[in-house]
Structure 1
Amino acid sequence: MVRIAQEDLVESLARAFQYVSHHHPADYVQALRRAQARETHAPARAAIEQLLVNSRLAALGRRPICQDTGVGQVFLRVGCGVQFFRHDGASPLSLQEVANEGVRRGYTDPVNPLRATMVSDPLGLRRNTRDNTPAVVQCEIVAGEALEVLVVAKGGGGDVKTRFATLEPSDSVADWVIAQLPGMGAGWCPPGTLGIGIGGTPEQAMLLAKLSLFDAIDIDLLQARGAQGAEEALRLEVFERANALGIGAQGLGGSSAVLDVKLRTAPCHAATIPVALIPNCTAARYVRFTLDGSGPAELAEPPASLWDGIAERFDMPGAVRVDLDQLDKAQVRQWKTGQTLLLSGSVLTARDAAHKRLVDLMARGQPLPVDLRDRTIYYVGPVDAVGHEAVGPAGPTTATRMDRFVEPLMAGTGLLAMIGKAERGKDAIAAIARHGGVYLSATGGAAYLLAQSIRAARVVAFADLGMEAIHEFVLHDFPVTVAVDSQGRSIHLFGKAS
C-alpha cells in the first residue's frame, strides 16, 4: 500500500497547468520544424515560422503559448494499492474536488495568470467561473501502487471541431475522416494532430480519440519503416490524404495541416464501427507525471537545444506597412489575397458577447459606446497583463463565430476591417465584398509573439465582460495575411482547391 497526500496531487496539478501553458511537448516542436523544412507555400511557411518563434518566446518568458489557455482536463490512473490522505488529518476530498483545487491554483497563479474560460449555467447566464473550474476528470482504477496522471489544457478551437459517426462494417473509415476535414475548416489552428477513436460505444470512441492525441508523434518513423497492420496503414493513409487536400497551416494552403494521425481502438458491436475524430491544435499542451507517495511531481524542463536556430523575433520581408489610423477604402482596395501586412496604429477588440451587445444596441436605436467607422476589429480575448506587459498573450479567435454580425456592423457603422483566424462563411465574404472591406488572418497559436506587437491596451466598453470586453490596442508591426480582399476573394477557398 502506498499513501499519497492529496495536497501533493493538488500542488502537482497546479505546477502542471502552469508548465503546459508555456511549454510545447518536444515531439511537437520537432514535428513543426520538419513541417517548416518541407513547406514551399509562402503564407503557410510564414505561419509555421511564427509558431516556432512563439514556442521559443513562450518557453523563455514563461507566459502562455495561446491566449485560450484551455479547459483543465485531468486523466487519472489510480493503482489499487494507492491510499489517499491529507496532511492535516482531515477526511480525504473527492478526486473532483482535488482536481478543481489544482486547476484553481494553476490558473490564478499571480506570476503567470491564465485565462479563465469555463462558464457555469451553460443554457442560462453563462457566468465565467473566474478560476477555470471545474476540471474535467477521467479516472481509471488499475493494478499497482502508483498514481499516473495526464494533465491537458485543451483549447476550444480543437474540441469544437469534434466529429462522430456510427459507420457500417463495410464503410471506409479513411474516406469518412477525409470527408470531414474541409468542413472542419481552420478553426482548430493547424498544423496539429488528428486523434481517431474507433470502436467501443460512442462515449468510449470519443475518449479513445481524445487520449490518442497525447501519444508521441512518430509518423516520420512509421513512414520510414512502413505499416505493420491495419491500424498503422490507416494512419498513413489518412496522413497522406489529409495533407493532399491543400488546407495547410492555418488554412492558408500548403502541405502541412496534419503533423500526425493518432489512433486507438476498442472492441465494438458486430453491426457497427463507432468513429470519433478530434483534432489537437498548435497549442498542444499536455504533460504526464507519476506520484508514488514521495512528494509533488517535479517536471523536467526541455533542453534549450530544442529551439536551436529559431529566432527570437519574426520578420516578414516584403510586407506592406499599414497605418490603421489613416486607413480608408481606397487603401483596402489595393490589397490582394495572400499579401502580408504589418499593422500599426489603433484597433478595437471584440468577440462574441461584445458583438451581440453592439448589434442589440443598434437594433434598439441606441448609440454605440465606440465609433467603428473606418476602424478595424480584432477578434481576441487576451490574457491579463503582468509586469511591464501592455497586454498578456493575445492571439486571434475563430472568425466564423462572428460571421452573423459582419453585415449589420459593416452596413450600420462603417466598420472596414476585421482580424481573426480561420475562414469566413459565404455570407460574411459577400458582405465584405459588398461593403469594400477586408478580413485579415493572424496566426492562431502564436499569442505570445503577437502580444509583442501590442504597445498599449485599455478597456473602452463593456468592462463587465472581462476578457471579452472591448479593448483598444495600439499596434506596432502586427503581422497579418490578407485572407479575404475587398473583391471577396478568399485565401482559404483557394488553399483548399490548390
Structure 2
Amino acid sequence: MSIDYTPLLPTGPDDAQYRRLDTDPVGVVSAAGREFLAISPATLERLAFEAYRDVSHLLRTNHLRQVAKILDDPESSANDRYVATELLRNANIAAAGVLPMCQDTGTAIVHAWRGQHVLTDGRDAEHLSRGIARAYTTLNLRYSQLAPLSMFDERNTGSNLPAQIEILADGDDTYRFLFMAKGCGSANKSFLFQQTPALLNPAALRDFIVARAAEIGTSACPPYHLAVVIGGTSAEFALKTAKLASAHYLDSLPTSGSLSGNGFRDLDFERQILTATQQLGIGAQFGGKYFCHDVRVVRLPRHGGSLPIALAVSCAADRHVLGKVTRDGVFLEHLETDPARFLPDAVPESDLDVVRIDLDQSLDHTRAQLSGHPVGTRVSLSGTMVVARDLAHAKIRERLDAGEPLPEYLRRHPVYYAGPAKRPQGYPSGSFGPTTAGRMDSYVEQFQAAGGSLVMLAKGNRSDAVRRSCQAHGGFYLGSVGGPAARVAHDCITSIETLEYGELGMEAVLKIRVEDFPAFIVIDDKGNDFYHRDNRTLLTIGTAPQ
C-alpha cells in the first residue's frame, strides 16, 4: 500500500542568520559504506553553554524591531510607548552581558532534531545539561528549579537543572536545535481547552480565542507573541505545537491543508485575531493597542470526536535561539548585539508625566500620597521596600495561623513581590523585576486585616477579592512594568539586605532601597481597579463557553 506521507509540521527552509562558534573542527567518520558527522560531548556542552549565555542577554533583531515600531505608531497609547521604551532600555543594559534581561532566567528547554548520519555517544541530554548547568552556575542567572524530595518537601537544585530536553530523529547529516529559556510568567499562560466541533465556525471560534487571550491578562509581560493551535492528534501535541509557534519556529509552515493531514498556518485568521486583540484596550500592560506584537494560528488534524485548542505566549523576554552542527562547524543564531540602535532619540512625553512618592516617611504617609491620585497614574517610588514572594508568604501565613503577629516589616513598608537573579560583583543588585501578583492573592485579605501588605507592588492584574480587601482596609496595589528587570537593577535599586528566610535563596525576605522605581496605581483604597474601569472589564472580555 502506498501512502502520501507528509509530516504533521512540514516546515520550510531555515532562513535564520547564524554566527559560527570557535570550536574544534567537526569530525567525519566512515562506516557501513556511509559517512557520519561525529560530534563530541564537548561540542554539545559548549553549544548549550553559549546558547544560554546568549539567550539570557540578547534578543532577536525582529523582536526588537517590533518593540521599536510601537514608538512610531500614532495609534499607540502613551502607556504603550512608555512600556516599549522601558523594554528597549532594558535590552540595551542586558546586552552588556552582565545583568540578564529578566530576573526569572527560566527553565531550560531544548528541542533537537538529529539527522540519520549524525554520530554521538548517545548521552546527548547529559552533555547538553552540563553546558546548561555551567551557564547557570557561572553567569549571573537564577536557580529556579525545585526538586521534590517528597510529595510536599522541595529543595532548590542549585544548578537550574533538570532541563527539559527532547531529541527527535530527523534529517540527514545536520543536528538542529531550538534552545528556549522559559520563565514561569509566560509558561503559566499556556492553556489547553478541550472543545467540540460545534466551535468550528468563524464567528464562534474567533470570539472564543479572543476571550481566552484576554484572560491571559498582563502578568506574563506583554506585548506578546501569541500562538493558537486548533486541533491536534493529542492534547500534548497541541500544546507543544503552540509553544513552538510562539517561538516563531513554525513560521515556514504551509498556508493551506491537504488530505495528508499536514498542519498549516491560517494567515487570514491570524490577522483577524491580532486586530481583535488590539481592540481589547489592554495594550502593553497598562492600556492601549499593543497587547500582542503578532499572532500565529496553526490548524492541525484531529480525531473526529475531539477539538483541542491550545494557547501559548512568548513574552517581552522572547528568549529563543536556534543552533546547528553541520560539516561546516558549530553555529548559533545571530541575536542582536546593538539594541541601542532601536532606542528613541528623545524621551517620550509620557516619561515626564509622573507623580513622585516618598516611601520613607511612613506607610500611612505613602498611602495618603497615593490616595490623592486616580488609578492609572504613573508613580516614581523612592525609599525602602521589603521583598517577599510565594514561599515567604506561605511561611508568614503559618505564623499567623499559629497565633503569632504579622512581621513588623510588612506593617512598616510596601511589599514588592519579586525574586532576584544573582548579584554581579560590584553591583548592588542582580536583575530584579516583579513577579506575578496573582499568586499572592489568597494571602492579601488575611495580611491586610493584620495591618500589613497595605501597599503591594508586582506585575499583572489581581482578583476581585484583592480589590475588595484594599477597599476595606485602605490598601493599594501598584503595577510595575513586567520585563525590564535589568534596567530596574541597574538604575533603581541601590541596596539589598536579607531580613528573614535567607535559606530560601531568591525567595528570601529582603529589604531594598530604591530610587525612581516606576509603577502605576492599579487598585486604590476606594476599590477602583485600573483593569475594571469605565464600566468595562479589560481582562475578562467575552462570554464564549469554556
Identify whether the pair has TM-score above 0.5, normalized to the shorter chain. yes
Moved more, 52-61 or 144-153: 52-61
Say which of 45, 50, 60 aligns to 1:15: 50
For the structure 1 residues 159 and 20, does the alpha-carbon distance in structure 2 shift closer, same or farther, using more than 3 Å as the test?
same
Partner of 1:87: none
Report the secondary structure of 1:326's partner residue. Answer: coil
Partner of 2:532: 493
Once the two structures are superposed, the pairs formed by residues 147-226 of structure 1 within 5 Å of their partners are 147-172=175-200, 173-198=205-230, 199-215=232-248
For the structure 1 residues 230 and 302, does the alpha-carbon distance in structure 2 shift closer, same or farther, using more than 3 Å as the test?
closer
> Which whole-Å CA distance do the structure 2 matches of 1:170 and 1:453 have between them?
52
Say which of 325, 335, 348 aligns to 2:373: 335
Report the secondary structure of 2:90's partner residue. Answer: helix
TM-score (structure 2 length as normaliser): 0.83
> Which whole-Å CA distance do the structure 1 matches of 2:467 and 2:299 have between them?
40
For the structure 1 residues 313 and 120, does the alpha-carbon distance in structure 2 shift closer, same or farther, using more than 3 Å as the test?
farther
Partner of 2:488: 450
For the structure 1 residues 209 and 476, does the alpha-carbon distance in structure 2 shift closer, same or farther, using more than 3 Å as the test?
same
Task: Give 1 or 2: higher helix fraction.
Answer: 1
For the structure 1 residues 397 and 318, does the alpha-carbon distance in structure 2 shift closer, same or farther, using more than 3 Å as the test?
same
1:242 is displaced (CA, Å) by: 1.7
> Which whole-Å CA distance do the structure 2 matches of 1:274 and 1:308 have between them?
39
Once the two structures are superposed, the pairs formed by residues 277-316 of structure 1 within 5 Å of their partners are 277-292=311-326, 296-297=330-331, 300-302=334-336, 304=338, 307-310=341-344, 316=351
Q: Does the CA contact (< 8 Å) of 1:9 and 1:296 recur in 2?
A: no
Report the secondary structure of 1:353's partner residue. Answer: helix
Question: For each residue in 1:363-404, what CA deviation from the matched residue of structure 2 results, as whole angstroms up to 9, or x when unmatched?
Answer: 212355543224100000001111211110100001111111
Report the secondary structure of 1:471's partner residue. Answer: strand
Report the secondary structure of 2:487's partner residue. Answer: helix
Q: Does the CA contact (< 8 Å) of 2:59 and 2:335 recur in 1?
A: no
Amino acid at match of 2:423: A
Question: For each residue in 1:443-489, what CA deviation from the matched residue of structure 2 results, as whole angstroms up to 9, or x when unmatched?
Answer: 11110111120000011101011000001000011111111111121
Report the secondary structure of 1:433's partner residue. Answer: helix
> Which whole-Å CA distance do the structure 2 matches of 1:232 and 1:98 have between them?
39
Report the secondary structure of 2:108's partner residue. Answer: strand
1:297 is displaced (CA, Å) by: 3.5
How many residues are matched? Answer: 480
For the structure 1 residues 244 and 216, does the alpha-carbon distance in structure 2 shift closer, same or farther, using more than 3 Å as the test?
farther
TM-score (structure 1 length as normaliser): 0.91
Give 5+ residue unaligned stretches, structure 1.
85-91, 223-228
Q: RMSD of the alignment, in Å?
A: 2.4
> Which whole-Å CA distance do the structure 1 matches of 2:374 and 2:310 have between them?
38
Say which of 507, 515, 522 aligns to 1:483: 522
Once the two structures are superposed, the pairs formed by residues 87-106 of structure 1 within 5 Å of their partners are 92=121, 94-106=123-135
Question: For each residue in 1:186-218, what CA deviation from the matched residue of structure 2 results, as whole angstroms up to 9, or x when unmatched?
Answer: 111110111122322111111111111122798
Q: Which has the larger radius of gyration?
A: 2
Question: For each residue in 1:17-73, what CA deviation from the matched residue of structure 2 results, as whole angstroms up to 9, or x when unmatched?
Answer: 111101111111111112232253223321221111111111134421111111100
> Which whole-Å CA distance do the structure 2 matches of 1:317 and 1:358 have between them?
39
Once the two structures are superposed, the pairs formed by residues 106-145 of structure 1 within 5 Å of their partners are 106-109=135-138, 112-121=139-148, 123-145=151-173
> Which whole-Å CA distance do the structure 2 matches of 1:151 and 1:457 have between them?
33
> Which whole-Å CA distance do the structure 1 matches of 2:64 and 2:251 have between them?
12
Question: For each residue in 1:134-180, what CA deviation from the matched residue of structure 2 results, as whole angstroms up to 9, or x when unmatched?
Answer: 11112221121010011000111112112212333341432321121
For the structure 1 residues 263 and 364, does the alpha-carbon distance in structure 2 shift closer, same or farther, using more than 3 Å as the test?
same
Q: Does 1:347 align with 2:385?
A: yes
> Which whole-Å CA distance do the structure 2 matches of 1:305 and 1:497 have between them?
35
For the structure 1 residues 402 and 439, does the alpha-carbon distance in structure 2 shift closer, same or farther, using more than 3 Å as the test?
same
| Percent of aligned positions that are identical | 30
Report the secondary structure of 2:155's partner residue. Answer: coil
Amino acid at match of 1:178: V
Say which of 83, 88, 112 aligns to 1:76: 112
Amino acid at match of 2:419: G
Moved more, 264-273 or 312-321: 312-321
Amino acid at match of 1:463: G
